[in-house]
Structure 1
Amino acid sequence: MPFFCYNAKIVTNTQQADMTTEQYLITGILIGTLLLFIWDKWRYDIVAMLALVVATLLGLVPQDTMFDGFGHPAVITVASILVISYALQYSGALEIVANWLRRFARHPSIQIFLLTGLVAIASGFMNNVGALALFLPVTIALAKRKKAHPGSMLMPVSFASLLGGTITLIGTPPNIIISGYREKYHHEPFAMFDFMPVGLAVTVIGVIYLSFIGWRFLPKRSAEESEEKSLAAASEYMTELRIPAENKYINRSLFRILKLCEGEAVNILSIIRGQRRILAPTQYEILREDDLLVVEGQPDAIQQLIDDSGLQMIDVKIDTDELVSEDVTIIEVIVGPDSMLIGRSASGVQLSANHGVNLMAISRRGQSIRQRLHRTLIRAGDVLLLQTGEDSLGEKLEFLGCLPLATRHIALGKVRKMWTTIAIFSIAILITSFTSLSSALTFTAAVGA
């Protein structure tokens, strides 16, 4: 949203503070923009761009400079930090945080205190919007595990991200903007931690209030109100996980795996041991090397189980020569009514060998799948999770008779580079803090790395 700055004007008793036509127009645009934000029918970025276009058409903003604001260091810095936040979200680091916070489920105030404290700290170093986006999945997962409405934890987290942004230079866009103006008129910008004396005190007091007092005033809602809406479109997949050699669960009971699944939407349907199939296994079943666990659940929950247990997804590597690269994608597709896959299995049609496509999981809403994954006969309306090269993806799906679903990030079976991502982000923060290089430059370089 554009910012407009006017020179201050002292008005005496003999002067009348009349607004000019341009000021009336700008005020009208700002009020209209705020009303559209409140209406919440259009996306915020579309509304903000519309305000800029209207201001330009009315001659309030010169046409040749209407996009200059997008080159402001604050915009570049925030955009770079959001990219880094996205990488951190899918690096696997948050799963460690979530598992730690789950230990305090019986003490809601302490759990909220730790969560909001982490959000506030992260907000100080990665922008409040990025920190909020980063911890949203963790917050919702913790609420689901407690069978509580997500709003009971999301509101404190939202306030904590705003408070934490006041600690450092890069914590919130206004700090960066003010620093830019200070450099312009006083030739010296604010340093990384110049905001800390005031910002840290405000943040600590705010987090303590939110954790032990504030959250108790939130409206009481049941978890069922949000669960049906938020998860209605999410498909549950059936896939197979193998127990590799030297896994810590070999010769242990299935009970230990089931403990990892507590609070997660994951079910273990059967165990395949050679030619033997154990349906609905009990918790006392002893696991062996190379056992296949047939599991069903949400992609994120299955990935969490993989990370915690060290199990491996089977057949998740592209076999064909032209696709032996890192340029692969995971996509959800629905089997069309005229698909060549209907009535055939993945092994029968030789998806990997003939088409360079790997079947990772199948979702058949309302029905349980009892056969092996690659021997399951595919039906019209099945949702498939496929791994394939991005080259000629459209042609492959058209030939198979499948339609892509709306894109959502799925990292099922993917190796996540947690420490690399954390190291890059930490180095960028250190360089910004202890050198004269601008935050826009260092974080843009971090995105490139």
Structure 2
Amino acid sequence: MTYEQIFLFTLLGFVFAFLVWGRIRYDLVAFAALVIAVIGGVIPAEHAFEGFGHEAVIIIALVLIVSRAMMNAGAVELVARFVISAGRSLSTHIGIMSVVGAAMSAIINNVAALVMLMSLDIEAAEKAKRPVSRSLMPLSFATILGGMITLIGTPPNIVIAQFRDRALGEPFSMFDFSPVGLVCAFVGIAFVTTIGWRLIPESATRATVGEGGDTGLFVAEAGVSEKSKSIGKTPSDLFPLADEHDITILGLVRNGKRLRGFAAGEEIRKSDHIVLEGDPKSIEAFIGAADLDTPGTEDHGGLRGKSLTLVEAIVPDNARMVGRTAMDLRLLYRRGVTLLGVSRQGRRFRERVRKLTIKPGDVVLLLGPQSRVNDAAEWLGVLPLAEKSHTVIQRSKALFAIGIFAAAVATAVAGFVPLAVALAAVVGIYALFNIVSAREVYEAVEWPVIVLLASLIPLGLALETSGGTQLIAEAILSLTGALPAWAILTLLMIVTMTLSDFLNNVATALVAAPVGLSIAQSLNVSPDPFLMGVAVAASCAFLTPIGHKNNTIIMGPGGYRFGDYWRMGLPLEILIIAVAVPAILIFWPL
């Protein structure tokens, strides 16, 4: 072996060891390896940072921003009404959630799809009084499977597509992954729905829904606009919807006065205000579901309306708010922020929220654009709780956001503009119409993943140009002897899938893709089945909580242990290999 090959194999060996060890952040490990490779002379200094401008890196960052925008626009609420039902059997619930999760993962990043649906799954488990661990792992696996359906669903697909462009002169297109991805997703979802969830060990079901949750409830008001669908109904008519969102309707305000009792039988009129009690997220969700308005947000409405945030803040003894009301402070007029609700040790009160005298120890719920809320909190002297900030869903923009994204994808698929340019235009439009704020554009990007990918791209290229990947390919071929090409493809997928269970799937794809290409060239067959096999295998990390971020996300809420994953993950990985290889050979012949 040459000096470059020895250096790179040794360096990558240390990189993989540190990634499996997990004590040092993976982005720092990858970036340090890049610097060492430059110092060692195996990567030219002028090419060291080309990975940061690589199209795959740009596309992944843009997809993450688009995913945040879809969350802000309330895309998940368009399907939520068909998902949440405590009366369904567990298998039916898992099947519906898995299909929805897979479908969403195909059009947005699969991590974002899981985050959007996880709260719904937890809510459904709470209503059905069953352990959430039974359904969270199937949901995570389904979103991973759904990500394989399109180019933008999962980072390995983007990496493989761009590698093919560099190696063969043309990338995989948006839906080239769909035939094989759909087969894998269909079979995988059928498995987790009927058999898989039953394999989760009983110890994992120890997790109970709502443990450690915040029991602090806020009293808030919601206005009835001229076109609200709640007009003509009574508060009692809204009780089922309120129960669904864990909200208590406390009464009705008309002409500035609170009506007697709960006003359960009083017909709701235009300009009334409904008094609610619940946690901030539940209040916000109920206001949207009941087609109500939040007082004071008129200036922020419309398609160009600003992105709003709900922030909980504690009122200390020396705060400007103490002993005063929101009306006294003219909070909305002076600061452009609304006092939406107040929590006072679980107590209820009959005063209107904006006329309530604030006391030390109260927790207030402030609504407004992020920058204004921060300024208002400082001016009021209250202490915002960083972990208690909630983005207000802009439901009126949901169809607009979906339409813009669909048009951009269609434009890219038709070949009018590259995918990266189309997604960049979508992000620009979303920012222009305040579906994502400038702050959220940067917050949505998972910078550690970007640094990891951008650092490993030059390392992978150096391994390929030095002949290192060819050596790996020759080693695999020597071990397989006279086996047919399909058997070698199966072995490559098994090795790739095993690596992905312990390494980042992007890192796995970057290393395995050139090996697959070298094997195909040595066998004198089409490289596409091998590249497609690497894409499938790198995405399917079901054995451990560290192989895929979705598995990591559910570990705490589901109460899972490290060893719980392989019980359902191992048979699923075997099943995916069994169906993926024939599907690849049918749709991408050797």
Could you say which TM-score interval applies, normalised by the shorter chain? 0.7 to 0.9
1:168 aligned to which of 150, 153, 161? 150
Does residue 206 of the first structure (1) align with residue 188 of the second (2)?
A: yes
What does residue 210 of structure 2 align with? Answer: 227
> Residue 30 of structure 1: which of 11, 16, 19 is its match?
16
Structure 1 pair 446–247 and aligned structure 2 pair: CA distance change class (3 A):
closer
* Matched residue SS, 2:244: coil
- Give the structure 2 partner of residue 404 of structure 1: 384
CA contact 1:312–1:413 (8 Å) conserved in 2: no
Deviations 1:209-247 (A, max 9, x none): 111221222245669734123x33x85322112333464
Greater relative contact order (Cα < 8 A, sep 6+): 2
Q: Which residue of 2 aligns with 1:78?
A: 60
Structure 1 residues 255 and 364: alpha-carbon distance in aligned structure 2, compared to 1, 3 A threshold: same
Q: Does 2:338 align with 1:358?
A: yes
Quick check: 1:340 aligned with 2:326?
no
Alpha carbons 2:110, 2:144 under 8 Å: kept: yes
Aligned mates of 1:84, 1:447 — CA distance in 2: 6
Q: Amino acid of the residue matched to residue 361 of structure 1? A: G
Paired residue for 1:47?
26
* Residue of 174, 182, 199 corresponding to 1:217: 199
SS at 2:359 equivalent: coil
Identity within the alignment, %: 31
- Judge conservation of contact 1:302–1:412 (CA < 8 Å) in 2: no
Partner of 1:16: none
* Shift, 1:97, TM fit: 0.7
- Contact 2:85–2:124, Cα closer than 8 Å, also in 1: no
Alignment of 1:177 onto 2:159: yes
CA distance in 1, matches of 2:359, 2:370: 25
User: Match of 1:190, as an amino acid?
Assistant: F
AA aligned to 1:49 is: L
2:106–2:149 Cα contact (<8 Å) kept: yes
Q: Which runs of 5+ in 1 are unaligned?
A: 1-8, 10-18
Name the CA shift for 1:157/1:171 in 2 (closer, same or farther; >3 Å): same
Say yes or no: does 1:140 pair with 2:122: yes
Q: Distance in 1 between matches of 2:233 and 2:312?
A: 34
Q: Closer, same or farther in 2 for the Cα pair 1:89/1:100, shift >3 Å?
A: same
Query: Does the C-alpha gap of structure 1 residues 351 and 215 become closer, same or farther in structure 2, counting only changes over 3 Å?
Result: same
Following superposition, the deviation at residue 167 of structure 1 comes to 2.1
Letter in 1 for 2:57: V
In structure 2, relative to structure 1, the CA distance for the partners of 1:164 and 1:143 (3 Å cut) is same
AA aligned opposite 1:210:
V
In 2, are the aligned partners of 1:362 and 1:384 still within 8 Å (CA)?
yes
Deviation digits for residues 307-341 of structure 1 (CA, Å, limit 9, x no counterpart):
2222222233469xxxx984876543322221121
> How far apart are 1:431 and its partner, in Å?
1.8
Larger proportion of helix: 2
Match of 2:253 in 1: 272
Counterparts of 1:348 and 1:107 in 2: how far apart (Å)? 53
8 Å CA contact 1:316, 1:413 repeated in 2: no
Judge conservation of contact 1:334–1:403 (CA < 8 Å) in 2.
Answer: yes
Check if 1:69 corresponds to 2:39: no
The 2-side partners of 1:130 and 1:226 are apart by: 22
In structure 2, the partner of 1:299 is 280
TM-aligned CA distance change 1:339 to 1:140, over 3 Å? same
Quote how far apart the aligned CAs of 1:294 are: 1.0
Residue 419 of structure 1, CA deviation: 0.8
> Structure 2, unaligned stretches of length 5 or more?
430-590
* Alignment-mate amino acid for residue 13 of structure 2: T
The equivalent of 1:6 in structure 2 is none
1:237 partnered with 2:223: no
Corresponding position: 1:153 with 2:135: yes
Distance in structure 1 (CA, Å) of the matches to 2:312 and 2:256: 30
Asked whether the 8 Å contact 1:74–1:177 carries over to 2, the reply is: yes
- CA separation of 1:116 and 1:272: change in aligned 2, threshold 3 A: same
> Residue 308 of structure 1 corresponds to which residue in structure 2?
289
Match of 2:175 in 1: 193
- The answer to whether the 8 Å contact 1:94/1:138 transfers is no
Distance 1:274 1:335 in 2: 29
Q: What is the RMSD computed on CA atoms of the aligned residues?
A: 3.3
User: Greater shift after overlay, 75-84 or 299-308?
Assistant: 299-308
Closer/same/farther in 2, CA of residues 411 and 123 from structure 1, 3 Å limit: closer
Aligned counterpart, 1:3: none
Classify the secondary structure of the residue corresponding to 1:405: strand
| One-letter amino acid of the counterpart of residue 246, structure 2 | A
Please give the alpha-carbon distance, in whole angstroms, between the structure 2 residues aligned to 1:183 and 1:414.
38
List per-residue Cα deviations over 1:254-283 (Å, max 9, x = no partner).
222001012322111222334653465275
- 1:277 maps to a residue whose letter is R
The amino acid of 1:96's aligned partner reads: L
- Distance in 1, Cα, partners of 2:251 & 2:333: 27
Structure 2: distance between partners of 1:210 and 1:435: 37
User: Which residue in 2 is equivalent to 1:56?
Assistant: 35
In 1: Cα distance, 2:154 partner to 2:207 partner: 35
Deviation at 1:408, TM superposition (A): 5.5
Pairs within 5 Å for 1:108-123: 108-123=90-105
> CA-to-partner distance for each residue in 1:375-430, whole Å, 9 max, x for gaps?
11112232222245666766543332122321655344855401110001111221
Paired position in structure 2 for 1:255: 236
Distance 1:284 1:96, change over 3 A: same
Structure 1 residues 428 and 365, CA gap change in structure 2 (3 angstroms): farther
**Local SS of the residue matching 2:251:** strand
Whole-angstrom CA distance in 2 between matches of 1:265 and 1:91: 22
CA apart distance, 1:73: 1.8
What amino acid sits opposite 2:97 in the alignment? Answer: L
> Displacement, 1:356?
4.2
- CA offset at residue 354 of structure 1? 4.2
Which residue is 2:455 aligned to? none
The answer to whether the 8 Å contact 1:347/1:375 transfers is yes
Q: Does 1:126 align with 2:108?
A: yes
Whole-angstrom CA distance in 2 between matches of 1:206 and 1:335: 51
SS at match of 1:314: coil
Q: Counterparts of 1:104 and 1:388 in 2: how far apart (Å)?
A: 34
Q: Secondary structure at the match of 1:239?
A: strand
* Length, aligned pairs only: 421
TM, length-normalised to structure 2: 0.64
Task: Give the Å deviation of 1:98.
Answer: 0.9
Give the counterpart letter for 2:79 in structure 1: V
| Partner amino acid, structure 2, of 1:121 | A
**2:314, 2:68 → 1: CA distance?**
27
TM-score by length of 1: 0.82
